[in-house]
Amino acid sequence: MNKIIEEARKESRTLLSEIESKQLLKEVGINTTEIKLAASEEEASDISQKMGYPVVLKIASPDISHKSDAGGVKVGLKDEEDVVKAYKEIMASVKQKFPGAKIEGVSVQNMAKPGTEVIIGMTKDAQFGPVLMFGLGGVWVEVLKDVSFRIVPLTRRDAQEMIKEIKGYRLLEGYRGSEPVNITVLEDMLLKISDFMEKTPEIKEMDINPVFAYKDGAIAVDARVVLEESVSR
């Protein structure tokens, strides 16, 4: 069993933190933003300075999965003053909205350059097992629900068809002067996730949203992994 999953199992957790989720992705060969945990505003400032501005702060709590709804996300922080202010605002907002939540601190992340936003997800179907999803990411996935699905394991052809099936495919090709994205990189990501899901039955759900896709690569900006309930007694 993977060490990150094993550790969560020991703590009787089914929801992995964003830091743990991104560590899993990196082990699979998926490019992600740099991410570190800060337990205080001083630590957040120190990590930000070493990481290089601009940075993003996100609340780190096993009890809060939708961080934005809690006022737990601050982006585009350009200096130490921004970071200290953002840390205080995040803590105040979270304590007000989720007074009983366990707070570990904040995650500090480098700010990825904007790209075309896509989503890669995985859920388990009672009949077919792991099913991969691909579509336009960010808010678009909620508004347009422009997604495609395939049963794991995927072939290269499956990944190609999945990407071309979405209505927003023209955006990926480069629409009205926008930059085309590297489709092969997205196919590779789907295949890596498919392979990982096949070998890791402990994972119940995975949500990588958004992935910023560029002409020369792609990077996972946010990730969420949910484990199956432990069957051990």
Name the residue among 76, 18, 78 with its Cα closest to residue 49.
Answer: 78
Q: What is the mean pLDDT of residues 77-91?
A: 97
Q: What single-letter DSSP state applies at residue 84? A: H
Report the amino acid identity of residue 100: G
pLDDT digits (tens, 9 = 90+) for 113-153: 999 999 999 999 999 999 999 999 876 667 678 899 999 99
Beta-carbon-side half-sphere exposure of residue 109 (alpha carbons within 13 Å): 26
Q: List, for residues 92-124, the tens digit of each pLDDT value.
A: 999 999 999 999 999 999 999 999 999 999 999
Q: Token pair of 17, please?
A: 């933190």
Question: Distance (Å, rounded) from C-alpha 110 to C-alpha 50?
Answer: 10
Asked if residue 135 lies in contact with residue 203, where contact means CB atoms within 8 angstroms, the answer is: no
Q: Which two tokens stand for residue 43?
A: 């630590």
Taking only the tens place, the pLDDT of each residue in 148-190 is 999 999 999 999 999 999 999 999 998 877 889 999 999 999 9
Q: Collapsing DSSP states into helix, strand and coil, what is residue 141?
A: helix
115: tokens are 């790209």
pLDDT of amino acid 140: 66
Whether 18 contacts 209, CB under 8 Å: no
Q: Please tell me the distance from the alpha carbon of residue 86 to that of residue 75, in angstroms, as a whole number.
A: 9
- Summarised one tens digit per residue, pLDDT across range 12-57 is 999 999 999 999 999 999 999 999 999 999 999 999 999 999 999 9
pLDDT for residue 231: 57
For each of the domains in the chain, give its residue range(s) and CATH number, in order of start.
6-15+114-227 (3.30.470.20), 34-110 (3.30.1490.20)
